[in-house]
Amino acid sequence: MKKGFQIFWHIFIWLSLISFILFAIRNSGMSVHTVLVLFALYGAINISLFYLNYLVLIPRFLNSKNYALYAATVLIIVIAYGQAKYGIALIFPNDVLVRSSNGISAVMSFWQYFVSTTVTGLMFIFLSIVLKFSIDWFLNERIQRDLENQRLTAELAFLKSQINPHFLFNSLNSIYSLAYQKSENTPGAILKLSEIMRYMLYESNDNKVALEKELLYLQNYIDLQKIRFGKKAFIDFKIEGEVGDQRIVPLLLIAFIENAFKHGVASDAATAIKLLIKIDATSLYFFIQNKKHTDNRDASGGIGLSNVKRRLDLLYPRKYSLEIRDEIDTYTCELSLVL
């Protein structure tokens, strides 16, 4: 791709330059022989000067910031090219050195021609510099974008890798409590956990998953928490809207629900966790609120919400709004998301 990109720009520049020159001389009355000499012979000489500077001088001197040596080398080469071109002009004087104005023909002197051809040579040097640094700039921009994409991909992979251990840690704590109490709900909790982990390990590896599957995953998690807390788990969970072929980044909403169960009070209907998800064809609204549990704080918490905020920034830039209200006795999260 890099080579093709450079070839494109070279072809574009030369076609533009040739078209400009042809436009300038189309009404000049030049003979076909003169046009061939100027384009085929002198065009090849000037193009060789262009690529000498483009491929050799710039990489060797300018890229290493040896400006004085570069300028001296360019000056010597332009002078040498000017003398060589004048020598060739003596072979085709009528095509190169003779100029007509108002019906009067005059032969250019060495110095007249030398100044003219030096200006032309410097123009090709300038064009090669502009093209070289333009292409390098575009390529560097592309490299920087690729590196940034790689960095973001690696960061997302790291963030996602945190989810499974974080979720598993909390769930195993819940199941441990059931097992410690020798609850008959322990096998059901283990089965629910296995279903949840199957989704997390095998079905959530794509960038986006079907919203229907993500909602089922959330329901399974809630069911697992109800098994753990038994009659002390109250949650008012509602889904409004039609679930169709919408897709969402997987494992994005679970952190809010985890925190509500982990830090909230849901022991009766008056303190139930309120969870509302509204869906339409292109957007999702997520609302969750819980009563705060002041006696049970997780000193090592914070991974979940900071993780999901960062994932939202990376995966839904300018496509979401998140409001978190930490009030005296309630904790509320509202997320609006363009799917």
The pLDDT assigned to 251 comes to 83
Angle at 334 between CA 332 and CA 338, to 5 degrees: 165
35-39, 161-165, 316-320: range with highest mean pLDDT: 316-320
| 300, pLDDT greater than 50 | no
Q: Is the pTM of this model over 0.85?
A: no
The pLDDT assigned to 303 comes to 57
Q: What are the backbone angles phi and psi of residue 312, rounded to the nearest 5°?
A: -65, -45
| 81, pLDDT greater than 90 | no
Asked if 300 and 311 count as a contact pair (C-beta separation under 8 A), the reply is no
The pLDDT assigned to 66 comes to 85
The pLDDT assigned to 99 comes to 64
Q: Which of the 8 DSSP states describes residue 185?
A: T
Q: Is 225 exposed, middle or buried (CB count within 10 Å of its CB: 0-12, 13-18, 19+)?
A: buried
Kindly state the percentage of the chain with pLDDT values over 70: 77
Residues comprising the chain, all counted: 339
What is the location of CATH 3.30.565.10 in the chain? 183-338
How do beta strands 98-101 and 235-240 pair? unpaired
Q: Is 279 exposed, middle or buried (CB count within 10 Å of its CB: 0-12, 13-18, 19+)?
A: buried
Place of tokens 């097992």: 179
Between residues 285 and 292, the one the model is more confident about: 285
Q: If pLDDT is split at 50, 70 and 90, which confidence band does 11 have?
A: confident
The pLDDT assigned to 332 comes to 92
Give the helix ranges, DSSP H, for the chain: 2-25, 32-36, 43-52, 67-89, 93-96, 110-180, 186-198, 211-229, 254-263, 303-315
State the CATH class of domain 183-338.
alpha beta
Q: How high does pLDDT run on average in the chain? A: 79
Integer Cα distance of 339 and 336 in angstroms: 10
The pLDDT assigned to 278 comes to 95
How confident is the model over 166-200, as pLDDT tens digits? 667 767 887 887 788 888 878 888 888 888 888 87
CB-based contacts of 202-205 (< 8 A; 24+ apart in sequence): 203/250, 204/250, 204/251
